[in-house]
Amino acid sequence: MIKLSSFRHAYDGVIVTFKEHPNIRFHMLAGLTATLLSYLLNLNRLEFVIILFTISLVITSEMINTAIESMTDLITLEYRKEAKIAKDVAAGMVLINSLLAVIVAIIVFLPHLLIITSNQTP
């Protein structure tokens, strides 16, 4: 049986991440912008699902990065090579997913934007 407290803990995790980590706010704003653009450009279902999964991947990786950073700080606040590696790899995960999200956005949105701009004659 699913406990309601599990949902509360998950909700708390989202709220803490949003309040205490400015990067997640940037990613959520970018995700909302992409969602709005998807609606305005009238993307087909597959394109929209690709955009949603890409947004989810970036936000999830940012939350994993936050969890790894917090756990690493809990274990040690002094400089340790292993702690630096853990934090750097987690940050690298977010960077790679963010760059791939930009590539996905270009691939999905650009054809729609080119059609709009080519239909407008000066």
Hey, what domains does the chain have and what are their CATH numbers? 4-119 (1.10.287.3610)
pLDDT score at 73? 94
b/e sequence 46-81, b meaning 16+ C-beta within 10 Å:
ebbebbeebbebbbebbbebbebbeebeeeeeeeee
| 67-120 pLDDT per residue, tens | 999 999 999 989 999 999 999 999 999 999 999 999 999 999 999 999 988 877
How much is the pTM? 0.87
Provide φ and ψ at 42, rounded to 5°: 55, 50
Over range 36-62, report the average pLDDT.
97
- pLDDT for 37 equals 97
Q: What percent of the chain has pLDDT over 90?
A: 84
Q: Would you please indicate which residues are annotated as catalytic (active-site) residues? A: 62
